[in-house]
Amino acid sequence: MQPLSTQEQKKPKSGLKRSRWWRFSLWITGSILLVGLLIAGAGALWMSQLDISKLEHPLPEPTLIMDRNAQPASQLSSSRIEPVPLKQIPLELRNAVIAVEDRRFYEHSGVDIWSITRALWRDLISGSMKEGGSTLTQQLAKNLFLQSDKTISRKLKEAAYALKINMTYTKDEILELYLNSIYFGEGRWGVQGAALEYFAKPVSQLNLVESALLAALPKAPTTYSPAKNKDKALERRNLVLLLMKEQQFITTAAYNQAIVQPITLQQQNEESLKGKYPSYVDYVIEEAAELYGFTEEQILTSGLRIYTDLDPVIQQTTEEIYGQPSLFPESRTDQMIQSGAVIMDHRTGGIRALIGTRGPQVYRGFNHATQLRRQPGSSFKPLAVYGPALERGYTSSSVLYDGKLDIGGYRPRDWDGQTRGQVTLKEAILRSWNIPAVWLLNQIGIEAGLDFVQRAGIPLTAADRSLSLALGGLSEGVSPLQMAQAYGGIANLGVMQKAHAILKITTKDGHTLVEAVPQSSVLTRPTVAYDLTLLLQEAVKSGTGSAAAIGRPAAGKTGTTQLPDTPEFSSIGANGAKDAWFVGFTPELTTAIWLGYDQTDRDHYLVTSGGAVPAALFNRIMSRVLRDAPVTPFPIPGVSRNPSAEPALRSR
């Protein structure tokens, strides 16, 4: 017998190895399939237990806003939604919403894997995380059942809810639910309310152009509001029309005819909600969403009790004063001079009153007290210049330069066009001279000013790293709420309390869902805050803020921003202004007031200053709300405060 060759000897071993590898592969594959089936089963079981019964009852109990005395102050409800059946909603509106929000709505199962993949790919290409991918069904689920956080668990729940909704309801039923519940701006939820708000007619009568405009709003109702920003609204509407053409919902001829049509509104001038204190309540909704993750739908339909620091006496008083046209400059017929005001207790950070607009008010309209971003002018000097200078040893009697100044091409001028050579720090504040403020910031260093402003809770950008910071020349601007909070840190001896409206949120039966935790930070040393308070008190007694004097301790600073240095305003010169501010405080309350046009141009500008109308408004408001409160001095570092003022203020 011949011995086996080496190659023949290896064949059985090689076959054995292949057999083992095949069995191992089968085992791995089976295990993976088994694990996949278990995960899918667990997911299906979890999804089956999700409760979507709320979709059957879209209008539950109203939410109550409670004032600081735990009494009902305002009521919120989604009952203003007037549901309409899908057959009454024009096909063009349905197609417009699908085109811009979810082009594969009738093809996917509630979650569009293709759109999510496409969005992820675009994010990877652009290096950003701006693309979406949520379907209409997911948006419906998020609005009704979930908080607004951006965690992975929330996205998984959103997808699960969407899948279950898709299995439970038809596509037309889902679209009907979505169109009747989505927010369209100006305090309007649902397509019927939106049609009445913007066009004063039922949704069934909307044409293609009007339908495209409504479909443009849900992505960002404030940004694309045709009532506030027609240019952006027009751009967004035309994008919707383009998408409709690309997806063959409309013909090229219809598209060409539609995009050339202007936006024509016929708005109703009635409040969409009949509750009280719309501006304050608007901010409560915003705070509940941003700080605590509540959706607007939850706030409006869950029967919550939202306890706030709203003082009805101060709020009503401020609203009455703002309702007197004689206290404001005369507006042009086509645009009202607007204003926003915030009154807060600087000892706690609680917002006692808030005015977001003049004239007719709608819920979720633009809030000039909280959403505004305007340059604060000289009212910024205590934060950017004088506060940090006092921290570095300067005093009220320190001598500052007030002559011709040119620092790297930056040439500030005093408002009167004159110079005095030298002035004291106190004089510079009292008269609001610009040159000494810029010179002083240059002396102490821009970093010192930036640091103090950031401690005051005001965000800055790289573009703000310049000497124009001294005069409030900010790239993005500030709101009255931000200024009130910052000045509150001065009034509170250097301890800044985070401004807030909400104290706690409970269910209707008293179960606490969230409770505010006081947030404080150190703005500056108590002695610096007190010295700055005394200087600002002098500015009210005998300086540019004298119109704010109320016959009791009060401190503050005026601010006026000039018109842009462009050919459009060259003929107006120094006779006009863009913004007017007064920010001030008493031992009890801090108040910030802004005045100006929403859209400033050669026909719409102010002919007043911060030392005139805003300071006079401060006088009117503070004189009335503190009328029965005992007169107390500003607190002195190291000396205990007199607590008697607070009960008196609360019990008027």
Segment holding 74, helix H or strand E: strand 72-76
Please answer whether residues 376 and 294 qualify as being in contact, where contact means their C-beta atoms are separated by less than 8 angstroms: no
Please answer whether residues 203 and 90 qualify as being in contact, where contact means their C-beta atoms are separated by less than 8 angstroms: yes
Q: Which residues of 333-365 are buried (b: 16+ CB within 10 A; e: fewer)?
A: eeebbbbbbbbbbbbbbbbbbbbbbbeebbbbb
Please answer whether residues 74 and 283 qualify as being in contact, where contact means their C-beta atoms are separated by less than 8 angstroms: no
| Cα distance between residue 383 and residue 456, in whole Å | 8
Please answer whether residues 539 and 557 qualify as being in contact, where contact means their C-beta atoms are separated by less than 8 angstroms: yes
Residue 475 a catalytic site member? no
Q: Is the dihedral of CA 218, 220, 226, 232 positive or negative?
A: negative
628 Cβ contact list (under 8 Å, min separation 6): 648, 652
Radius of gyration of the chain from Cα atoms? 31
Length of the chain in terms of residues written? 652
254 Cβ contact list (under 8 Å, min separation 6): 208, 245
DSSP-assigned letter for residue 416: T
**635-642 contacts at long range (C-beta below 8 A, 24 or more positions apart):** 635/493, 635/530, 635/587, 636/530, 637/493, 637/526, 637/527, 637/529, 637/530, 638/526
* Maximum pairwise Cα distance, the chain: 127
Catalytic residue among 74, 77, 101, 197: 101
Segment holding 541, helix H or strand E: helix 526-542
Residue 378 a catalytic site member? yes
**503-508 contacts at long range (C-beta below 8 A, 24 or more positions apart):** 503/68, 503/307, 503/308, 503/309, 503/350, 504/307, 505/288, 505/292, 505/294, 505/304, 505/305, 505/306, 505/307, 506/304, 506/305, 506/307, 507/302, 507/303, 507/304, 507/305, 508/61, 508/303, 508/304, 508/305
| Cα distance between residue 496 and residue 454, in whole Å | 12
Catalytic residue among 378, 379, 396, 479: 378
Task: Determine what percent of the chain falls in helix, strand and coil, rounding each to the nearest 5.
Answer: 45, 15, 40
Placement of tokens 């039966």 in the chain: 509
Query: DSSP letter string over 457-521?
Result: T----GGG-SGGGGGT--SS-B-HHHHHHHHHHHHTTTEEEPPBSEEEEE-TTS-EEEE----EE
Enzyme catalytic residues: 101, 378
